[in-house]
Chain A
Amino acid sequence: MKLYDQIFNVVKQFRKLFSPGPVTNADVSGSITAEIFLIVSLVLSAILLRHVSILLAGLVTLILAIVLISNIPLIPKFKIEQEDSLEKMLFYAVVTLALIATFMYWGGNLV
């Protein structure tokens, strides 16, 4: 029953995503699809790490799967981080620039 309650709460929380306005069946099923798609695709892309090290890939995949599944619903959190405000957009743009530049300058020859 615990898992069932958890999933039921997830659906309840989707309601906030669609305010203002009503929530329809199609929207909720779309959100659940997005939820499952997000978990599966992130775990799947973590397997790509096996080209670096098989042990690392196994560990990361397991940890990622556990963290993602125990943190559902993910989509509301994801959507808040990717809303339309300039603050968030600029923040992520500058952080990405800093990460790419740092990674390339010191680690560009490691691959």
Chain B
Amino acid sequence: MNELIPLMVIVPLIAALLISTISRFNTVTKVFTFVVALCLPLIPILSNYGLHYFGGYEPMLDTVSGVIYHPAITYSFTFLQQIFIGAVGLLTFLVVFIYLTKYKKVSGPYLFLLFLGTAAVTAMMLTDDIFHMFVFFEILALAQVGIVAASSIDYSYEMALKYMVLGSIGSPIMLLGIGFLLALTGSVNVTDIAVAVHNGLVDVTSPVFLLSLALIFFGWLYASGLPPFHTIKSGIYSKAEPHGAALLQSFTVISMISIVMIMFRIYASLPIFEVLIVFFSILAMILGVSLALTQTDFRRMIGFLAVGELGFIGLGIGLGTNFSITAGLFQALNEIIITALLFIGFGAIVNATNEVDTRKLGGLLAYHPKVAIMLLIAGLAMAGVPPLSGFQSKLMLVQASLSCGFPEISILAIMVSIATFVVFVKTYYTMFLKPKPNDLNLEGKEVPKAMIFAMAVLLIIVVLLGIFPDMATGGISNFVGGIL
């Protein structure tokens, strides 16, 4: 059923608008939100692979030059899109479920923002039109700012404004790069641009083409929170509600890979492109993990770890072989699940203690054993301990960089994994294992059942992907073979 492809974007968008209009009827809103959220992971599973042309404008064959042009905005839906949209749909469902059970009176605008963000990343993942992607990228930025500003954490408005000001530099610069591409090729369809570049209609060594790469690349740095945007990205994670932060990091990862795949299809023939990606990925890994080691606010620490892990994704894509890109995309999928699990788990602790400073916590293992065990497994998965999913993708990355002739990068990746583990063990020790401080009051505070449920669902996926990585890697590898 190819008709379901546009519905993946339309359903959350319409639902977002409807929820904000009917939010005065509390029960109706709750039921409606729950049903829509349940639909989100189901639509990509039921849909068939294929293309959707908006307005029904089929591709046209230019009989003189023999080139096919795409006049319509095209959505392409393959295994890669299915697995990532499915993952973000599932995450949205879990986050909305946590939100609905946490508050008696739901806020229409907040649910509006959650669904708007999901619709935006879904469209970014599906689209084959670079300007369409830019539009949804801006909508996503607005939704992210809204989610941060809506939280009740101190200084969330300040962080939201900072993100917005930085975004109003990053996004127009990216649009300028898109404008350069439009000037060179006369099209905004990625397939048309890629064909023009590969057929030699565009001079790939011209400074204008190189500058367009530089500008879009800068926009990508902002979208994915690689340096110099790592401080603001980890900042907005720490100032959002924990379940909101779980969703925000999945938005970041998906916008990162959707933009980088578009850039890869256009610029893969330039060697400098891969050098740039690898350089900024290594910088992100080093800065993210070393700053995570010095944090005392554990939400900020997970934020920096999430940024550091993004470096692994960039590394896989920057190495540029089929195996390494597969590894990078598989790492992206694992990161979405594992980081969401960590954010929800540590959010449960915030919920039960009202404290975010690791120095004032301790002895939580006796009070919240379920959360403690699930968090431990998630931390091991993030550090890359077998047989969990993080191990599989990181092993693939290390093998890929070895086979490309970069043993230094392999060593660096292993070192970053070890440092990630140190960060996690340090935080885990201070929160769960060391003796409880006297002034910490833990009596009578429970972790919500919905959070435990969400963590358990995500944990099952982590273990399944760790034992059967072929479920994801086979299809991703086919997709990567198609674009190389």
Contact = CB atoms under 8 A, between A and B. Distances in A.
Q: Do A and B bind each other?
A: yes
Interface of A: 17-18, 21-22, 24, 26-27, 29-31, 33-34, 37-38, 40-42, 44-45, 47-48, 75, 78-79, 82-84, 86, 88-90, 92-97, 100-101, 103-106, 108-109, 111
A15 to B, nearest CB: 12
B32 interface: no
Contacts of A84: 159, 162, 231, 235
Question: A interface, by DSSP: helix, strand, loop or mixed?
Answer: helix
B408 A104 contact: no
B412 A34 contact: no
Contacts of B286: 37-38, 41-42, 45
A17 B293 CA distance: 12
Contacts of B159: 84
Given A44-B411, A90-B169, A96-B221, A33 B272 contact: no
A76 B210 CA distance: 37
Interface stretch (B66-74, B333-341, B385-393, B418-426): B418-426
29 contacts: A18-B359, A22-B359, A24-B359, A24-B430, A26-B430, A31-B294, A33-B419, A34-B419, A37-B419, A44-B408, A82-B287, A84-B235, A88-B231, A89-B162, A90-B165, A93-B166, A93-B170, A93-B222, A96-B221, A96-B228, A100-B217, A100-B218, A101-B211, A104-B213, A104-B272, A105-B214, A108-B213, A109-B272, A111-B272
B294 A93 contact: no
Given A30-B422, A84-B235, A93-B229, A79 B408 contact: no
Question: B interface, by DSSP: helix, strand, loop or mixed?
Answer: helix
Contacts of A83: 231
Contact of B294 (A21, A75, A103, A108): A75
Contacts of B358: 26
Contacts of B415: 37, 40-41, 44
Interface of B: 159, 162, 165-166, 169-170, 173, 205, 207, 210-211, 213-215, 217-218, 221-222, 227-232, 235, 270-272, 275-276, 282, 285-287, 289-291, 293-294, 296, 357-359, 406, 408-409, 411-412, 415-416, 419, 422-423, 426, 429-430, 434
B259 to A, nearest CB: 15
Contacts of A78: 287, 290-291
Contact of B272 (A38, A88, A93, A108): A108
Contacts of B215: 101
Contacts of B229: 89, 93
Contact of B218 (A38, A97, A108): A97
Contacts of A40: 415
A82 to B, nearest CB: 5
